[in-house]
Amino acid sequence: MAQAPLVKFRTQGHIAIFTLDRPKQRNAVNAQVSQELEAHLDAFEANDDLWTGIICSSAPERAFCAGADLAAISRRENIATAKGGFAGLTMRERTKPLIAVVGGPAFAGGCEIVLACDLVVANTNARFAVPEVKRSLVAAAGGLFRLPQKIPVNIAMEMILTGDPISAQRAFDVGLVNRLVPAEKGPQHLFDEAVKLANTINQNAPLAVQESKQLVDQLRLAEDSDAFLESYSVCADC
């Protein structure tokens, strides 16, 4: 019997919508999630009529993503892909903008999925954390270098070294979140705000947007490949 999909994919105009759909597990990432998300990202990148992507949760108030599926890891399941790394996303090269839509906790690998995206729309129930140090681990899926790229270094260092979460308001204040909406307006309002942002981007020339995004990525201080090698070398010694 075929497995039910854990990542749903649909389109809305020029927008590709990726929905993490594992609510009972708070969208924890196992091998199937990584493989499906990577396959959908491949389709997104290959389709010239799709210009901007949105990654969201089927139950945003419950969680955006709780990170790695620890049960899958205990079974020695490979929850990363060769091309995309964790969730089939965090290490892959992309040409098109991705917007993360967060209405609940985005912890550990879930926060690293957010950091791998280009823009973030959240409501006031969202929280962000890289709590790996509390579990004798390090945030090896991009958190150690992307977080200090996106927010002030001292605040990133506090999050990384304490493992404590920050609120959506704090994330908005320090620049991690682009659009912050009231949670009481509901999940549809949160999603609509992301669509509105995507449509604003899509009013521009898509090739110019893609070229601009790629140049920003290339001009970051550290190459992702080098930073990942350093992160994983430390993780292997834990």
In a domain, 163, yes or no: yes
pTM: 0.92
pLDDT at 221: 61
pLDDT at 229: 74
- The answer to whether residue 193 is catalytic is no
Residue pair 123/168 in contact (Cβ under 8 Å)? The answer is yes
In a domain, 25, yes or no: yes
CA distances from 116 to 24, 92, 145, 226 (A): 24, 9, 11, 16
pLDDT at 1: 57
In a domain, 1, yes or no: no
Residue pair 113/214 in contact (Cβ under 8 Å)? The answer is no
In a domain, 95, yes or no: yes
pLDDT at 219: 78
Q: Exposed, middle or buried by CB within 10 Å (0-12, 13-18, 19+), for 210?
A: middle
Q: Is the sign of the CA dihedral 197, 202, 206, 209 positive or negative?
A: negative
pLDDT at 68: 95
Q: Could you give the CA distance from residue 99 to residue 80 in angstroms, rounded to a whole number?
A: 21
One-character DSSP codes across 144-202: HHHHHHHS-HHHHHHHHHH---EEHHHHHHTTS-SEEE-GGG-HHHHHHHHHHHHHHHH
Q: Could you give the CA distance from residue 12 to residue 216 in angstroms, rounded to a whole number?
A: 26
pLDDT per residue as tens, the chain (238 positions): 568 999 999 999 999 999 999 999 999 999 999 999 999 999 999 999 999 999 999 999 999 999 999 999 989 999 999 999 999 999 999 999 999 999 999 999 999 999 999 999 999 999 999 999 999 999 999 999 999 999 999 999 999 999 999 999 999 999 999 999 999 999 999 999 999 999 999 999 999 999 999 988 887 765 667 766 766 665 555 5
- Nearest Cα residue to 197 out of 64, 66, 55: 55
In a domain, 196, yes or no: no
pLDDT at 86: 97
Domain span at 140: 7-185+205-236
pLDDT at 220: 73
The active-site residue, picked from 36, 38, 132, 193, is 132
In a domain, 198, yes or no: no
Q: Looking at the 3D structure of the chain, how many domains does it have?
A: 1
In a domain, 79, yes or no: yes
In a domain, 84, yes or no: yes
Strand partners for 100: 55, 120
Strands 7-12 and 15-20 turn out to be antiparallel
pLDDT at 80: 95
Helix (H/G/I), strand (E/B), else coil: 133: helix
Q: How far apart are the first and last CA of the chain?
A: 39
- The answer to whether residue 112 is catalytic is yes
The active-site residue, picked from 77, 112, 223, 230, is 112
What's the CATH number where 64 sits? 3.90.226.10
Chain centroid, CA 93 distance in Å: 14
- Nearest Cα residue to 102 out of 130, 132, 129, 128: 128
Q: Could you give the CA distance from residue 116 to residue 80 in angstroms, rounded to a whole number?
A: 14
Q: Is the sign of the CA dihedral 137, 140, 141, 143 positive or negative?
A: positive
